[in-house]
Amino acid sequence: MTSRGRTKKEKQPFEPGLIPAPGHLLVWRDSRHFDHWQALPCTLCGQPTPMRSHSEEPVHKACAEDWITANPVEARLGRFASDLAPKPKSESKGQGDHV
Ligand SMILES: [Zn+2]
Protein backbone atom coordinates (compact mmCIF):
# COMPACT_ATOMS: atom_id res chain seq x y z
CA MET A 1 0.00 0.00 0.00
CA THR A 2 2.30 2.73 -1.13
CA SER A 3 0.21 5.50 -2.51
CA ARG A 4 2.48 8.45 -2.59
CA GLY A 5 1.54 9.31 -6.12
CA ARG A 6 0.47 12.77 -5.22
CA THR A 7 2.35 14.67 -7.83
CA LYS A 8 1.14 18.18 -8.11
CA LYS A 9 0.60 19.54 -11.53
CA GLU A 10 0.41 23.19 -12.27
CA LYS A 11 -3.23 22.98 -13.12
CA GLN A 12 -5.58 20.45 -11.73
CA PRO A 13 -9.01 21.91 -11.72
CA PHE A 14 -10.59 18.72 -12.97
CA GLU A 15 -11.46 16.88 -9.81
CA PRO A 16 -12.41 13.24 -10.04
CA GLY A 17 -15.35 11.91 -8.11
CA LEU A 18 -16.17 8.39 -7.09
CA ILE A 19 -14.41 5.35 -8.42
CA PRO A 20 -16.98 2.96 -9.83
CA ALA A 21 -17.09 -0.58 -8.54
CA PRO A 22 -15.71 -3.23 -10.88
CA GLY A 23 -18.24 -3.92 -13.58
CA HIS A 24 -19.90 -0.57 -13.18
CA LEU A 25 -19.76 2.26 -15.63
CA LEU A 26 -17.89 5.50 -15.36
CA VAL A 27 -19.85 8.71 -15.44
CA TRP A 28 -18.00 11.00 -17.77
CA ARG A 29 -20.42 13.73 -18.60
CA ASP A 30 -18.04 16.61 -18.36
CA SER A 31 -16.98 17.95 -21.72
CA ARG A 32 -13.39 18.00 -20.50
CA HIS A 33 -13.34 14.26 -21.01
CA PHE A 34 -13.53 14.94 -24.72
CA ASP A 35 -10.60 16.44 -26.54
CA HIS A 36 -12.04 18.23 -29.52
CA TRP A 37 -8.69 18.86 -31.07
CA GLN A 38 -6.96 15.56 -31.33
CA ALA A 39 -7.20 11.87 -30.79
CA LEU A 40 -4.33 10.23 -28.97
CA PRO A 41 -3.57 6.53 -28.63
CA CYS A 42 -5.47 5.02 -25.74
CA THR A 43 -3.06 4.00 -23.00
CA LEU A 44 -4.88 0.71 -22.65
CA CYS A 45 -5.67 -0.48 -26.17
CA GLY A 46 -3.54 1.78 -28.35
CA GLN A 47 -6.36 2.90 -30.60
CA PRO A 48 -6.84 6.64 -31.11
CA THR A 49 -9.34 8.20 -28.78
CA PRO A 50 -10.53 11.73 -28.10
CA MET A 51 -11.46 10.69 -24.58
CA ARG A 52 -9.42 11.79 -21.57
CA SER A 53 -9.41 10.73 -17.99
CA HIS A 54 -9.40 13.27 -15.18
CA SER A 55 -5.63 13.19 -15.28
CA GLU A 56 -5.78 13.82 -19.03
CA GLU A 57 -4.71 10.33 -19.81
CA PRO A 58 -5.98 9.37 -23.26
CA VAL A 59 -8.19 6.38 -22.75
CA HIS A 60 -11.47 5.06 -24.05
CA LYS A 61 -14.17 5.19 -21.44
CA ALA A 62 -14.95 1.55 -22.13
CA CYS A 63 -11.27 0.64 -21.80
CA ALA A 64 -11.08 2.42 -18.47
CA GLU A 65 -14.13 0.53 -17.29
CA ASP A 66 -12.60 -2.75 -18.40
CA TRP A 67 -9.40 -1.81 -16.65
CA ILE A 68 -11.23 -1.12 -13.40
CA THR A 69 -12.91 -4.49 -13.65
CA ALA A 70 -9.62 -6.21 -14.39
CA ASN A 71 -7.64 -4.28 -11.75
CA PRO A 72 -10.05 -3.64 -8.89
CA VAL A 73 -7.30 -3.14 -6.34
CA GLU A 74 -5.28 -0.69 -8.39
CA ALA A 75 -8.50 1.01 -9.42
CA ARG A 76 -9.00 2.03 -5.80
CA LEU A 77 -6.01 4.31 -6.15
CA GLY A 78 -8.11 6.46 -8.41
CA ARG A 79 -6.58 6.19 -11.84
CA PHE A 80 -10.03 6.44 -13.37
CA ALA A 81 -13.01 7.91 -11.62
CA SER A 82 -16.43 9.20 -12.39
CA ASP A 83 -17.21 12.87 -12.43
CA LEU A 84 -18.09 14.56 -9.23
CA ALA A 85 -21.77 14.36 -8.55
CA PRO A 86 -23.48 17.63 -9.28
CA LYS A 87 -24.47 19.64 -6.28
CA PRO A 88 -27.86 18.67 -4.99
CA LYS A 89 -30.30 21.19 -6.27
CA SER A 90 -33.96 21.19 -6.93
CA GLU A 91 -33.26 21.77 -10.58
CA SER A 92 -30.35 20.02 -12.16
CA LYS A 93 -29.96 22.00 -15.32
CA GLY A 94 -29.51 25.50 -16.48
CA GLN A 95 -26.03 26.15 -15.24
CA GLY A 96 -24.24 28.37 -17.68
CA ASP A 97 -21.24 26.65 -19.11
CA HIS A 98 -18.65 29.36 -19.21
CA VAL A 99 -15.37 28.71 -20.88
ZN1 LIG B 1 -8.93 1.99 -25.60
User: Cα(47) to centroid of ligand 1, in Å?
Assistant: 6
User: Cα(92) to centroid of ligand 1, in Å?
Assistant: 31
pLDDT by residue (tens digit) across 4-13? Answer: 555 555 665 7
- DSSP line for 27-78: ---SGGGB-SS--EE-TTT-SEE-BB-TT--B--HHHHHHHHHH-HHHHTT-
51/98: higher pLDDT? 51
User: Cα(26) to centroid of ligand 1, in Å?
Assistant: 14
Rounded to an integer, the average pLDDT of 20-35 is 96
User: Cα(91) to centroid of ligand 1, in Å?
Assistant: 35
What does pLDDT average to over the chain?
86
86/61: higher pLDDT? 61
Separation of alpha carbons 22 and 61, rounded Å: 14
83/4: higher pLDDT? 83
Residues near 83 by beta carbon (within 8 Å), at least 6 away in sequence: 16, 17, 27, 28, 29, 30, 33
86/16: higher pLDDT? 16
